[in-house]
């Protein structure tokens, strides 16, 4: 009887653990446009959701975000990578892991795929260095699902020019963003089970429909995460 109770209790813990979803894409891909919709979609399924972002998500992370995005600030590519992972370590400790442990689903605007794309593909930081940082900071944790919004660089650039003043990354050249995009696409091939690709250049309704299909498929493959006893 005690053994059955322990198994039952362990099953409850497993089922209660939240899922970790990330949204990725080059600047101007439109990913941020869909975050509020994605939050409502999951809430409608009765799930508790935390929406966050990288770099950021914590007091320290937001301070580092300001530094990293400041177009007046120059820094070595490896310094940039280290700051990104420093912000991520705080993000994991203060936001992501506590939420997952209490059964809350986390949706993050960017995570480590962005480091491999921007600092790796864009800046040229060696992959083995990023691999080591990923293992050190995350200790094997990776998203359960990543939705990658893919658009041609020219499309992303046109969208950015019509929306806001460019930050330090957005001021980079088209060639930089092409390297970033190609690094993202390499990640989609390398982690095809986790990363789902959406053509972000389609009309909004079609993009939204594609995201809905991905989320419906993802949720249908899961056991009920809310333990009912």
Of the candidates 183, 214, 184, the residue with the CA atom closest to the CA atom of residue 198: 214
Cα–Cα distance list, 51 to 35, 48, 181 (Å)? 8, 10, 24
Domain positions in the chain: 26-220
User: Could you tell me the pTM of the whole model?
Assistant: 0.88
Tens-digit pLDDT string for the chain (229 aa): 444 434 443 444 444 799 999 999 998 888 888 898 999 999 999 999 999 999 999 999 999 999 999 988 899 999 999 999 999 999 999 999 999 999 999 999 999 999 999 999 999 999 999 999 999 999 999 999 999 999 999 998 888 776 567 789 988 999 999 999 999 999 999 999 999 999 999 999 999 999 999 999 999 877 654 433 2
Class of 26-220 per CATH?
alpha beta
């Amino acid at each position: 009887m005690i053994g059955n109770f322990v198994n039952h209790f362990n099953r409850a813990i497993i089922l209660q653990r939240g899922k970790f979803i990330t949204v990725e894409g080059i600047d101007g891909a439109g990913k941020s446009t869909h975050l509020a919709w994605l939050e409502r979609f999951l809430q409608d399924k009765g799930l508790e959701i935390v929406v966050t972002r990288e770099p950021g998500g914590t007091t320290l992370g937001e301070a580092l975000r300001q530094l990293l995005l400041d177009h007046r600030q120059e820094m070595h590519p490896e310094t940039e990578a280290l700051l990104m992972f420093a912000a991520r370590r705080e993000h994991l400790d203060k936001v992501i892991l506590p939420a997952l442990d209490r059964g809350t689903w986390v949706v993050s605007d960017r995570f480590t795929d962005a480091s491999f794309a921007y600092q790796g593909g864009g800046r040229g930081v060696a992959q083995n260095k990023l691999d080591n940082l990923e293992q050190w900071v995350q200790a094997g944790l990776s998203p359960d699902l990543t939705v990658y919004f893919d658009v041609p660089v020219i499309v992303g650039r046109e969208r950015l020019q019509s929306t806001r003043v460019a930050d330090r990354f957005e001021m980079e050249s088209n060639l930089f963003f092409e390297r970033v995009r190609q690094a993202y696409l390499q990640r989609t091939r390398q982690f095809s089970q986790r990363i789902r690709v959406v053509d972000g250049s389609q009309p909004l309704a079609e993009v939204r429909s594609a995201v809905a299909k991905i989320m419906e498929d993802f949720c249908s493959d899961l056991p009920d995460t809310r333990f009912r006893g």
